[in-house]
Amino acid sequence: MTDTAAPTKYDVIAIGNAIVDVMAPCEDALIGELGLNKGGMTLVDTERADELYQAMGPAKEISGGSAANTLAGMAALGAKCAFVGQVADDQLGEVFTHDIRAIGVAYETPARPAEGGEDSLPTARCLIFVTPDGERTMNTFLGATQFLPAEALDDDLIASAGILYLEGYLWDPEEPRRAMRRAIEVARKSGRKVAFTASESFVIDRHGDDFRALIDEGQIDILFVNETELATLTGESDFDAGLARLSGKIPTVVATRSARGAVAVQGETRAEVPAEPVDKVVDTTGAGDLFAAGFLTGHARGESLETCLTMGAVCAAEIISHYGARSEADLKALVEKRLG
């Protein structure tokens, strides 16, 4: 990445899954009966998605997707953001498009036809079962979102953002993977930073060689992982050893540790913050997404590592205090109160 670049229009542009979350509370027994991977994310086909939907209790539909959730949090904090992701020309696609634009995020990706051909698929949805302990078990039908073509990218739009933020989940399908590789090239040629969230250990299991190659080539400026993903990516069971493996290759490494807070390493500087107190953990859906929102907003503003981590922790604490991965309280006010 060059040291000079044209002025930015957006703080962050993200490429990710365009998904509508369908959430419902359930008892632990149902998780076992359905053979679900509690606390994890599993990709499902149309038949399995229908089966799980029928088994859900009363549900709530909320626009989601990991990177889109992050941008929603950033927009709430006052950042300028744009999103690239594929929906279908159907009802859920209209819901997603309306929701993301309504919160002030620029979104112009053309919708994919939902019917009428072999390639037609509906808008993606994530069926989320939330147990009494607040743990979320996600079952994702990717639908149209897994066919984001490189041709849908606007190079000028990519180049207009200070940070390109990529969602690891979307690296799995071939077509959007090509799109993200192209976006990385555009961002780096334009002197922009590239941030990447690993998303889930199963993604690293499938594409770890790709991720490690990107890291070794110096293509990633900011990496977000949790401690499980860190171990999977580095092969180090010791947390600090894992950080050490990455910190010499990536300018900024951010690792979250659930109730034990988060750590960031930037060159020789290391910062660590505890998790923010929460009266009750209701639903952990989106905790990592909102942590990234707080951190990236602080980073875009030139804040210190500790301040960026604190902003992330505040946002994560708000999101786990209620159902859904979109904030209900005023994030900007919460952050300002916390930072004094």
Angle at 298 between CA 7 and CA 295, to 5 degrees: 120
Q: In whole angstroms, what is the distance from residue 224 CA to residue 292 CA?
A: 7
Q: In the prediction, which pLDDT does 1 show?
A: 46
User: What domains can you pick out in the chain, each with its CATH number?
Assistant: 10-17+66-121+145-339 (3.40.1190.20)
Q: What is the mean pLDDT of the chain?
A: 93
The answer on pLDDT for 117 being more than 60 is no
pTM: 0.89
pLDDT of residue 234: 97
Contacts of residue 202, defined as CB under 8 A and 6 or more positions apart, other chains included, come to: 40, 41
Mean pLDDT across 317-327: 89
pLDDT score of 313: 98
Segment 210-225 shows an average pLDDT of: 97
- pLDDT at residue 107 above 50? yes
Judged against a pLDDT cut of 70, whether residue 153 lies above it is answered with yes
Cα 256 from Cα 278, distance rounded (Å): 16
Is residue 118 pLDDT above 80, yes or no?
A: no
171 touches 180 (CB < 8 A): yes
Please state, in angstroms and rounded to a whole number, the distance separating the CA atoms of residues 244 and 253.
Answer: 10
Give dist(CA 168, CA 177) in Å, integer.
Answer: 9
Mean pLDDT of 87-101: 93
Q: Is pLDDT of 33 > 60?
A: yes
Is the pLDDT score of 155 beyond 80?
Answer: yes
Angle at 331 between CA 109 and CA 220, to 5 degrees: 55
Instruction: Please state whether beta strands 269-273 and 262-266 pair in parallel, antiparallel, or not at all (unpaired).
Output: antiparallel
What was the pLDDT predicted at 134?
86
Give the mean pLDDT of 169-188: 94
Most confident of 84-93, 173-182, 290-299: 290-299
